[in-house]
Structure formats: structure tokens, C-alpha cells
A and B are shown apart, each in its own frame.
Chain A
Amino acid sequence: RKEVEQDPGPFNVPEGATVAFNCTYSNSASQSFFWYRQDCRKEPKLLMSVYSSGNEDGRFTAQLNRASQYISLLIRDSKLSDSATYLCVVTFYNQGGKLIFGQGTELSVKP
């Protein structure tokens, strides 16, 4: 079983839709949580960190449930420019803090 798992998608949604991505992790020694965005043939870029209390950045909301070992990303009012792959990333105390990536969820926003 992979340490960080995501639904690979693709998610095909119309502009203006709300879309939610889920991510689960299997190591209880979790430490930090992130969502990265990766455009086609480009490098991953940090979208947002995920805090225990949940956090919001404009149209993006991240939630963390440590008990269920579950992270989510909600995108409201999706734009064409949101089309990308969204990577769930977790670090674990017992792995020296290195980033463990999920396989990514592909989002395609259509006009």
C-alpha cells in the first residue's frame, strides 16, 4: 500500500464548479501536509500548506483529519487556469522529514 494515496482522476468539471480532492496517508508519524500543483511538463509548485485547523486561501480550502489520516482540497468557482495535477504531499517524523508525494489528481476545467 502506498504511503500517500490519491484518486488519480481525471476530474472533468465545467467552469464555476466546486471540486474536491481527497488524499489518505498510512503512516501515523505524520508531520506536515501540503498541496502542490503541477502543470503539464512543468515543476511542482506549492499551492498551500495544510494546518490542523484547516485553512483557506481565496477559492482554495484545505482540511486535515489526523484521526482518519485524511486530507482534502476544495476548489470553489473553478477556472480554466485551475486545470493541472494536484499533488498531496506529506512528511513523516520517521523518514527524516522528506516529502512523500501522492500520485496526483488530474483536474480539467472546461468552458
Chain B
Amino acid sequence: DAMVIQNPRYQVTQFGKPVTLSCSQTLNHNVMYWYQQKSSQAPKLLFHYYDKDFNNEADTPDNFQSRRPNTSFCFLDIRSPGLGDAAMYLCATSALVVAGFQETQYFGPGTRLLVL
């Protein structure tokens, strides 16, 4: 059974047209992450939520926003997608992080974004 679900799996948008990617989890994990992964590159962390606390990475562009309305759902909003934002967007979850200890992260299947 899928534990981290991402919708849609493929998203095509136009340059500058806002797009929202969604992630849901059935694991009841406290922490949810959004990563961007471009071809032949490692996943790059954009931000994460520890419960409702939002943690933005210093180099994440303002164009990327996130919402977590409840434990199960998290959204990635790209306000004005550019051609350079075409990538795979991965959602991941993990259980409570204690004293910086990283519990195993479970990744969703990803949403592949194409910007025309």
C-alpha cells in the first residue's frame, strides 16, 4: 500500500502559470519534506515541515512556497514557473526527529514537472 502519495505524477504547465503539487501520507509522520531533483543531479532540499513549523532552505527561491494544512497533506506551490524549474519534485516524510537524529525518510514517487 502506498504510504507517500504524490499527485499528479506528471504535470505540464506554461511559463509563468502557477502550479500546485500535492503530497499525502498515511504514516502519520511529523516531518514532511519537499525536494527538487534535476536530471543526473542529487535531490535538493527545498524546505520541510516539522509538524506545523516551516523550515526554508536558505537557497530556495521565493518562487517556491509550501502549505501544510494538516499532518497528512503538504503542498508545493510554484508561483511563476520558469523553464529552469522543470524537474522531478519529491515529497518525503519521516518520524519525529529527536536531537537532530534523522529517522528513515520515505519518499513518494515524485511529480515530474514540465514547463513549456
Contacts and interface: CB of A to CB of B under 8 A. Distances in A.
Interface in B62-111: 88, 90, 97, 100-102, 104-105, 107-110
Interface string A91-104: 10100111101111
Given A31-B101, A32-B102, A43-B110, A98 B45 contact: yes
Given A31-B102, A32-B101, A99-B102, A43 B107 contact: yes
Chain B's interface: helix, strand, loop or mixed, by majority? loop
Contacts of B109: 42-43
Contacts of B88: 41
Q: How large is the interface on A (under 10, 10 to 19, 20 to 34, 35 or more residues)?
A: 20 to 34
A97 B100 contact: yes
Interface string B37-49: 0001111010010
Interface string B20-56: 0000000000000000000011110100100000010
Nearest to B50: A96
Contacts, number: 47
Nearest to B103: A97
A46 interface: yes
Contact of B108 (A43, A91, A93, A101): A43
B42 A104 contact: yes
Given A32-B101, A97-B101, A98-B102, A43 B90 contact: yes
Given A31-B101, A42-B109, 4 more contacts: A43-B90, A43-B107, A91-B102, A97-B100
25 contacts: A8-B40, A31-B102, A41-B88, A41-B112, A42-B110, A43-B90, A43-B108, A43-B109, A44-B43, A44-B107, A45-B107, A46-B104, A46-B105, A87-B42, A96-B55, A96-B100, A97-B97, A97-B100, A98-B102, A99-B102, A101-B42, A101-B43, A103-B41, A103-B42, A104-B40
